[in-house]
Structure 1
Amino acid sequence: MKTQIELARQGIISSQMKTIAKDEGLKPGFICKKVAAGEIVIPINPGRKTQKTVGIGTGLRTKVNASIGTSSDIYDIDLEVRKARVIQEEKADTIMELSAGGNLDKVRRAVIDSVDLPVGNVPLYQAFHDTAKKYKNPNKLDPEFLFDLIEKQLEDGISFMAVHCGINQFSIERLRKQGYRYGGLVSKGGTFMVSWMEYNKKENPLYEQFDRVCRLMKKYDAVLSLGNGIRAGAIHDSHDRAQMAEMIINCELAELGREMGCQMMVEGPGHVPLDEIQGNIMLEKRMSGNAPYYVLGPLPCDIGAGYDHITAAIGAANSARYGADLICYITPAEHLALPNVEDVREGVRVTRLAVHIGDVAKYPDRREREKQVSLARRDMRWEDHMRLLMFPDKAKEIRASRVPENEKTCTMCGDFCAMERGFSLFENNIKGDKMSVCGLAN
Structure 2
Amino acid sequence: MGTQIQQAREGSITEEMKIISKVEGVEPEKIRDRVAKGKVVIFKNINRDNISRYTAIGEGLTTKVNVNIGASTDHYILEEEMKKVEIANTFGADTIMDLTDGGNIDLMRREVLKKAIMPVGTVPIYQVYYEMVAKRKYVIDFTEDDFFNVIERHFKDGVDFVTVHTGITLELAKRIGKVKRLAGVVSRGGTILAAWEIYNEKENPLYSNFDYLLEIAREYDVVLSLGDALRPGGTGDAHDELQVGELMINARLAKKSLEQGVQVMIEGPGHMPLDQIDMDVKLEKELTGGIPYYVLGILPTDIAAGYDHIAGAIGGAVASASGADMLCYLTPAEHLSLPNPDQVKEGLIAFKIAAHIGDMVKLGNKIREEDNKMSIARGSLDWKSMFSYTFDKDRAKEIYRQYKGFEAGSCTMCGDLCVYLVLPRALRAKERNVKKT
**TM-score of the two chains, using structure 1 as the length reference:** 0.94
Distance 1:68 1:407 in 2: 39
The equivalent residue for 1:394 is: 395
Q: Is the 8 A contact 1:379 1:423 kept in 2?
A: no
Q: Is the 8 A contact 2:401 2:407 kept in 1?
A: no
Distance 1:426 1:171 in 2: 71
Distance 2:195 2:244 in 1: 20
The equivalent residue for 1:439 is: none
The equivalent residue for 1:282 is: 282
The equivalent residue for 1:435 is: none
Q: Does residue 111 in structure 1 map to residue 112 in structure 2?
A: yes
Letter in 2 for 1:361: V
Q: Does residue 217 in structure 1 map to residue 217 in structure 2?
A: yes
Letter in 2 for 1:411: T
The equivalent residue for 2:353 is: 353
The equivalent residue for 1:123 is: 124
The equivalent residue for 1:230 is: 230
The equivalent residue for 2:242 is: 242
Distance 1:210 1:279 in 2: 29
Residues 74-118 of structure 1: CA distance to partner in whole angstroms, max 9, x if unpaired? 011111111111111111000000101101111111111112211
Distance 2:347 2:174 in 1: 36
Distance 1:324 1:406 in 2: 39
Distance 2:406 2:138 in 1: 68
Please give the secondary structure, in 2, of the residue aligned with 1:287. helix
Distance 1:211 1:17 in 2: 27
Structure 1, 48-57 or 305-314: larger mean CA deviation = 48-57
Q: Is the 8 A contact 1:174 1:241 kept in 2?
A: no
The equivalent residue for 2:384 is: 383
Structure 2 residue runs of 5 or longer lacking an equivalent are 430-437
Distance 1:104 1:379 in 2: 52
Residues 326-351 of structure 1: CA distance to partner in whole angstroms, max 9, x if unpaired? 11000000000000110111111111
Deviation at 1:219, TM superposition (A): 0.5
The equivalent residue for 1:82 is: 83
Deviation at 1:70, TM superposition (A): 1.1
Q: Is the 8 A contact 1:404 1:410 kept in 2?
A: no
The equivalent residue for 1:198 is: 198
Structure 1 residue runs of 5 or longer lacking an equivalent are 429-442
The equivalent residue for 1:412 is: 413
The equivalent residue for 1:316 is: 316
The equivalent residue for 2:96 is: 95
Q: Is the 8 A contact 1:233 1:270 kept in 2?
A: yes
Q: Is the 8 A contact 2:173 2:197 kept in 1?
A: no
Distance 2:320 2:427 in 1: 37
The equivalent residue for 1:59 is: 60
Structure 1, 19-28 or 359-368: larger mean CA deviation = 359-368
Residues 381-425 of structure 1: CA distance to partner in whole angstroms, max 9, x if unpaired? 222222222222111111111118993111101121112223445
Distance 1:406 1:20 in 2: 37
Structure 1, 208-217 or 164-173: larger mean CA deviation = 164-173
Q: Does residue 306 in structure 1 map to residue 306 in structure 2?
A: yes
Distance 1:77 1:13 in 2: 39
Letter in 2 for 1:80: E
Letter in 2 for 1:313: A
The equivalent residue for 1:438 is: none
Distance 1:35 1:365 in 2: 24
Please give the secondary structure, in 2, of the residue aligned with 1:147. helix
Q: Is the 8 A contact 1:185 1:231 kept in 2?
A: yes
The equivalent residue for 1:26 is: 26
Change in CA separation of 1:330 and 1:426 when aligned onto 2, cut-off 3 Å? farther
Distance 1:9 1:80 in 2: 39
Structure 1, 364-373 or 199-208: larger mean CA deviation = 364-373
The equivalent residue for 1:68 is: 69
Distance 1:247 1:105 in 2: 31
Please give the secondary structure, in 2, of the residue aligned with 1:64. strand
Number of residue pairs the alignment of both structures matches:
427
Change in CA separation of 1:27 and 1:413 when aligned onto 2, cut-off 3 Å? same
Distance 1:192 1:427 in 2: 72
Structure 1, 50-59 or 330-339: larger mean CA deviation = 50-59
Distance 1:404 1:75 in 2: 41
Residues 260-305 of structure 1: CA distance to partner in whole angstroms, max 9, x if unpaired? 0000000000001100000000000010110000100110000000
**TM-score of the two chains, using structure 2 as the length reference:** 0.95
The equivalent residue for 1:422 is: 423
Please give the secondary structure, in 2, of the residue aligned with 1:61. coil
Q: Is the 8 A contact 2:297 2:315 kept in 1?
A: yes
Change in CA separation of 1:246 and 1:427 when aligned onto 2, cut-off 3 Å? farther
Q: Does residue 3 in structure 1 map to residue 36 in structure 2?
A: no
Deviation at 1:175, TM superposition (A): 2.4
Distance 2:283 2:172 in 1: 17
Letter in 2 for 1:21: S
Letter in 1 for 2:73: S
